[in-house]
Structure 1
Amino acid sequence: MHRLGRLIASIVLLAALAAPVAAQTTNLPPLERASQVLFWSQTEREAGFRAMDRIVPHRVIAAGDVARPLPEGDPLSLDVEGFMASEKVAGLLVLQDGQIRLERYGLNFEREGRWTSFSMAKSLTSTLVGAAIKDGYIASLETPIVRYLPELTDSAYEGVTVRQLLTMTSGADWNEDYTNPDADVARFFEPHDTGGMDPTLHYMRQLKRAAEPGTRWHYSTGETQLIGVLVRRATGKPLAHYLSEKLWSAYGMERDAGWMIDESGQEASGCCVMASLRDWGRVGQFMLDGGKVGNSAILPDGWLSQATSKQADYGEAGEGYGFQWWTYDDGRYAAHGIFGQSITIDPERKTVVVILSAWPTATGRSNVRDAFLKQVADAVDAAPQTER
Structure 2
Amino acid sequence: MKWIKRILVGLVAVIGLAVIVLWVTGNDHILRGIPKTYLRGVTSPDIDDMDLHPLRVVPRGTPEPWPESAALGSFALSQEARQGLVQWDTEAFLVWSGDSLIYEEYWNDSDQNTRFNSFSMAKSFTSLAVGCAWKEGKIFSLQDPLVNTVAGYNQGLDAKLQIEHLLQMASGIDFGESYGSPLGYMAKAYYGTGLEAETRAYHASLPPGTEWKYEGGNTVLLGMAVTEATGKPLGSYFSEKIWSRIGAEHDAYWNLDVEDGLEKAFSAFYATPRDFGRIGKLMLDSGKWAGEEVVPWIYLEKAFAPVNVPGVDGQNVDHYGYHFWLNTWNGHKVVACNGMRGQHILTVPDRDLLVVRIGHQRPEALEHGQSRYIQDLLDYGGALQDSYAQRH
**Aligning the two structures, in what range does the TM-score lie when normalised by the shorter sequence?**
0.7 to 0.9
Map of 1:265-344 to 2, 5 A cutoff?
Answer: 265-312=261-308, 314=311, 320-329=319-328, 330-344=332-346
Indicate how the Cα distance of structure 1 residues 363 and 74 shifts in structure 2: closer, same or farther if over 3 A, else same. same
Offset of 1:379 from its aligned partner? Answer: 4.5
Per-residue CA deviation, residues 7-47 of structure 1 (Å, 9 max, x unaligned), is: xxxxxxxxxxxxxxxxxxxxxxx884556589658865999
Give the partner amino acid of 2:77: L
1:238 to 216, 233, 236: 233
Offset of 1:284 from its aligned partner? Answer: 0.5
1:359 to 345, 349, 361: 361
Indicate how the Cα distance of structure 1 residues 68 and 303 shifts in structure 2: closer, same or farther if over 3 A, else same. farther
Q: Report the more deviating stretch, 345-354 or 256-265.
A: 256-265
Per-residue CA deviation, residues 77-114 of structure 1 (Å, 9 max, x unaligned), is: 42242122111100111111021111110122111111
Q: Report the more deviating stretch, 63-72 or 199-208.
A: 199-208
Offset of 1:54 from its aligned partner? Answer: 2.7
SS in 2 for 1:384: helix
Residue 9 of structure 1: aligned partner: none
Point out where structure 1 has 5 or more consecutive residues left out of the alignment. 1-29, 193-198
SS in 2 for 1:81: helix
Offset of 1:72 from its aligned partner? Answer: 2.0
* CA distance, structure 2, for counterparts of residue 385 and residue 64 of structure 1: 35
Map of 1:185-200 to 2, 5 A cutoff?
Answer: 185-189=186-190, 191=192, 199-200=194-195
* CA distance, structure 1, for counterparts of residue 323 and residue 36 of structure 2: 22
Note if contact 1:116-1:275 (Cα within 8 Å) is conserved in structure 2. Answer: yes
Point out where structure 2 has 5 or more consecutive residues left out of the alignment. 1-27
* CA distance, structure 2, for counterparts of residue 190 and residue 48 of structure 1: 13
Map of 1:54-203 to 2, 5 A cutoff?
Answer: 54-72=51-69, 74=71, 76-79=75-78, 80-154=81-155, 156-189=157-190, 191=192, 199-203=194-198
Give the partner amino acid of 2:68: P
SS in 2 for 1:151: coil
Give the partner amino acid of 2:226: V
Q: Report the more deviating stretch, 109-118 or 371-380.
A: 371-380
Per-residue CA deviation, residues 113-157 of structure 1 (Å, 9 max, x unaligned), is: 111111111111110000001112110111111001122221543
* CA distance, structure 2, for counterparts of residue 31 and residue 172 of structure 1: 22
Give the partner amino acid of 1:205: R
Per-residue CA deviation, residues 345-384 of structure 1 (Å, 9 max, x unaligned), is: 1101111111111117894565344223224224434653
Q: Which has the higher helix share?
A: 2
Map of 1:222-237 to 2, 5 A cutoff?
Answer: 222-237=217-232
SS in 1 for 2:242: helix
Per-residue CA deviation, residues 238-273 of structure 1 (Å, 9 max, x unaligned), is: 122211111211111001111111136121111101
Q: Report the more deviating stretch, 80-89 or 223-232.
A: 80-89
Identity within the alignment, %: 28
Note if contact 1:64-1:249 (Cα within 8 Å) is conserved in structure 2. Answer: yes
Note if contact 1:63-1:248 (Cα within 8 Å) is conserved in structure 2. Answer: yes
2:250 equivalent to 1:255: yes
Indicate how the Cα distance of structure 1 residues 381 and 38 shifts in structure 2: closer, same or farther if over 3 A, else same. farther
2:371 equivalent to 1:370: no
Per-residue CA deviation, residues 255-298 of structure 1 (Å, 9 max, x unaligned), is: 11111111361211111011011001111111112111333323
* CA distance, structure 2, for counterparts of residue 148 and residue 386 of structure 1: 53
Note if contact 1:68-1:251 (Cα within 8 Å) is conserved in structure 2. Answer: no
Give the partner amino acid of 1:337: G
Per-residue CA deviation, residues 142-197 of structure 1 (Å, 9 max, x unaligned), is: 111100112222154321111111111111122112222222212344547xxxxx
Offset of 1:306 from its aligned partner? Answer: 1.3
SS in 2 for 1:344: strand
- Paired positions, count: 351
Per-residue CA deviation, residues 43-69 of structure 1 (Å, 9 max, x unaligned), is: 65999633x333322111111233243
* CA distance, structure 1, for counterparts of residue 103 and residue 43 of structure 2: 25
Q: Which structure has the larger Rg over C-alpha atoms? A: 2
Indicate how the Cα distance of structure 1 residues 382 and 62 shifts in structure 2: closer, same or farther if over 3 A, else same. same
Give the partner amino acid of 2:358: L
Q: Report the more deviating stretch, 60-69 or 229-238.
A: 60-69
Indicate how the Cα distance of structure 1 residues 371 and 301 shifts in structure 2: closer, same or farther if over 3 A, else same. closer
